[in-house]
Amino acid sequence: MKQLKKELEIGEIHVRDLWQFELKSEFIPLTQLEENQFAQEFFIFIPNALQVNRNTYKKGQFYQDLTNMIRYKTPEFTLKQILNPNNNLSPISRTLKLIQNETTDDNRDKLEDELKLLGNIVRSSLRDRIGDLIEEIKNNNPDLSEHILRYCEEVKELRRKLREIDEEIAENWRGVIREHFHYIDEFISISISYTFTALLEELRKHFSPSPPEIDEAISQIILQEKKHRIEHLKEPKELKGETEEEEHFFYRAGLLNKFVLDALLLTTQRTGVRQKFQHVIGAVAAGIAMLIFLLLFVWGGEVFVINSMPFIFITVLFYILKDRIKEGLKALSYQWVLKWLYDYKTDIRSPDDLYSLGNIKESFSFINEKMLPKEIINIRNREFHAVLEEFKRPERVIYYKKEVLLNHTQTEDIRRRNFNMITRFNIGEFLKKADDPLHPYIELDPNTEKLINKKLPKVYHINIIMRNYFLDTNQDTIVETKKFRLILDKNGIKRVEHLTG
């Protein structure tokens, strides 16, 4: 249930595991523009007690801890739209048509791609609709029973369509395609079980007892999918967590997820500004250093007798000076370039690598609190603990900016033109200097006047302010600000709080 809620939180930071938090962002290019520009800024406020600063936490470490993944956004369909035989964009309609084609390599690739897209679309559709039904449960919607029963019938119809596809593939294709279809079938079955289990859990939590008709309908969907996987897809009958076969349950689920996501993945290549400019900077630095050396060499030839010992010593000294000048100029040039330009640029290309979709530019730095925009300072000070409102908080501030440029590219498949980016960050390095998660505390009991030993939690707060810049349909720049607070201790992230910006 919690994981399903996380998957629905577009644009909100959530905890991925003990060490990582994650943000899912959507980028929807305006079709009337040749280039669409988006930007995200992160101001990360870290308490000084964690001893994270520009000397202990280098740029390279930050980018090791950061992961950016960009892919096509899953096309949005309801189950009714997916099942509609007259919908030419439905992956089921397209799959049934592709199955009738000749068994060429090109058609095989198209069919496999459509099957993988089917898996992604069905999972996304299930997740969104179940999320809506969970909200209806919480709000006591009077039409809840009708909506759930209708959706259960749609899922049964989906299962019938999948059986039809399986029979058609068995007759016309077989081999690898049929095996890959079974992977998609298993993925969809797991998605149905996962989302419907979350729905059943919320239903039974909210109603006591839960309405028998819809409870039974949901339960039958889950049990039928389980039976299907046991009979046709070789899933263990029981999951007790004790056998080697069961060890592979989540491992296999992860592989299935990667297999299906292949239909949405993009080709990316990341390069650093140092790599891009190092040869130019090196050549310019070497040229200036050589010019200085030659001037000094000529001067030395005029002052000292050529081939004399003083001339040899002074020439060696000039050569050493030339070498140091070259390295010094290179270092200063790198600092200047890194100060004014991005750290990394990631080129985004289509999966077949035929055309460019855009790029991402990233930059990182520690920023002095005095240099923070006034708006950010005001947002930082909001919702702080009232008792300590007037006290100066000793903090270090990390500034990270990500600029996304997307080209207007007419791809063959109009369903895949929007983008999702997953930003994931590991805070493990932040906690190396953290204190133990529990601290001893002695309290005098007011009733017995005895001293009581307790252990109270020791936590740290990392505040994050995020600003998004994007264009609306009128091509006006919209600025969206959000604020989050990570609560962590020595063992990792305890929770994330979404605050008012």
- The secondary structure of 276-301, three-state, reads HHHHHHHHHHHHHHHHHHHHHHHHHH
Return all residues near 314 (Cβ < 8 A) that are at least 6 apart: 300, 304
More confident residue, 132 or 208: 132
Cα 158 to Cα 7, 163, 296, 357: the distances in Å are: 22, 9, 83, 34
Look at residue 501 and tell me whether its pLDDT is greater than 70.
no
pLDDT at 327: 73
332 band by pLDDT with thresholds 50, 70 and 90: low
Look at residue 194 and tell me whether its pLDDT is greater than 50.
yes
Pick from 47-56, 169-178, 322-331: least confident? 322-331
Look at residue 456 and tell me whether its pLDDT is greater than 80.
yes
Crossing angle between the packed helical segments 91-99 and 105-138, to the nearest 10 degrees: 160
Look at residue 198 and tell me whether its pLDDT is greater than 50.
yes
pLDDT at 319: 78
Among 220, 222, 198, which residue's Cα sits nearest to residue 128? 198
Please name the residue that has the structure tokens 């903090």.
395
Mean pLDDT within 317-326: 79
Mean pLDDT within 31-48: 91
SS3 211: coil
208 band by pLDDT with thresholds 50, 70 and 90: confident
Look at residue 428 and tell me whether its pLDDT is greater than 90.
yes
Neighbours of 473 (CB within 10 A): 7
Pick from 196-210, 227-241, 260-274, 478-492: least confident? 227-241
The residue length of the chain stands at 501
Mean pLDDT within 258-287: 79
Encoding tokens for residue 1?
A: 């249930």
Look at residue 281 and tell me whether its pLDDT is greater than 70.
no
More confident residue, 115 or 35: 115
CA distance 141 to 442: 50
Pick from 56-70, 314-328, 331-345: least confident? 331-345
CA distance 462 to 50: 10
Contact by Cβ (8 Å): 70, 420: yes
Contact by Cβ (8 Å): 38, 401: no
More confident residue, 346 or 232: 346
- For the sheet with 356-367, list strands across it: 267-272, 344-349, 356-367, 395-407, 35-47, 460-471, 477-489, 492-499
Return all residues near 292 (Cβ < 8 A) that are at least 6 apart: 321, 322, 325
For 388-427, how does the pLDDT look when each residue is reduced to its tens digit (9 = 90+)?
544 556 899 999 999 999 987 666 688 998 999 999 999 9
- Which run of H or E residues covers position 426? strand 419-426
5 band by pLDDT with thresholds 50, 70 and 90: low
pLDDT at 125: 96
DSSP 434: P
Average pLDDT, the chain: 86
Rounded to the nearest angstrom, the gap between the alpha carbon of residue 449 and the centroid of all alpha carbons in its chain is 53
- For the sheet with 66-72, list strands across it: 13-15, 20-27, 419-426, 66-72
Look at residue 387 and tell me whether its pLDDT is greater than 50.
no
DSSP string for 49-80: GG--STTTS-HHHHHHHEEEEEEEPPPP--HH
Please name the residue that has the structure tokens 């650093």.
272
Query: φ and ψ at 339, to 5 degrees?
Result: -70, -40
Rounded to the nearest angstrom, the gap between the alpha carbon of residue 153 and the centroid of all alpha carbons in its chain is 34
CA distance 55 to 325: 25
Look at residue 51 and tell me whether its pLDDT is greater than 80.
yes
Pick from 277-286, 302-311, 357-366: least confident? 277-286
Assign residue 234 a region (left: φ > 0; alpha: ψ between -120 and 50; beta: otherwise). Answer: left
pLDDT at 351: 84
Mean pLDDT within 373-402: 76
Q: Which amino acid is at 318?
A: F
pLDDT at 86: 94
Mean pLDDT within 4-26: 79
Q: Which amino acid is at 259?
A: F
Return all residues near 206 (Cβ < 8 A) that are at least 6 apart: 137, 138
Mean pLDDT within 468-479: 86
Query: φ and ψ at 195, to 5 degrees?
Result: -70, -40
Contact by Cβ (8 Å): 269, 70: no
Predicted structure pTM score: 0.80
Query: Is the preceding peptide bond at 437 cis, omega within 30 degrees of 0?
Result: no
Return all residues near 316 (Cβ < 8 A) that are at least 6 apart: none
More confident residue, 149 or 324: 149
More confident residue, 291 or 108: 108
pLDDT at 333: 55
Long-range Cβ contacts of 76-82 (<8 Å, 24+ apart): 76/124, 76/125, 76/128, 77/121, 77/124, 77/125, 78/125, 78/129, 79/122, 79/125, 79/126, 79/129, 79/151, 79/154, 79/155, 79/157, 79/158, 80/154, 82/121, 82/122, 82/125, 82/158
Look at residue 6 and tell me whether its pLDDT is greater than 60.
no
Look at residue 280 and tell me whether its pLDDT is greater than 90.
no
Mean pLDDT within 463-482: 89
Mean pLDDT within 88-114: 93
Mean pLDDT within 89-116: 93
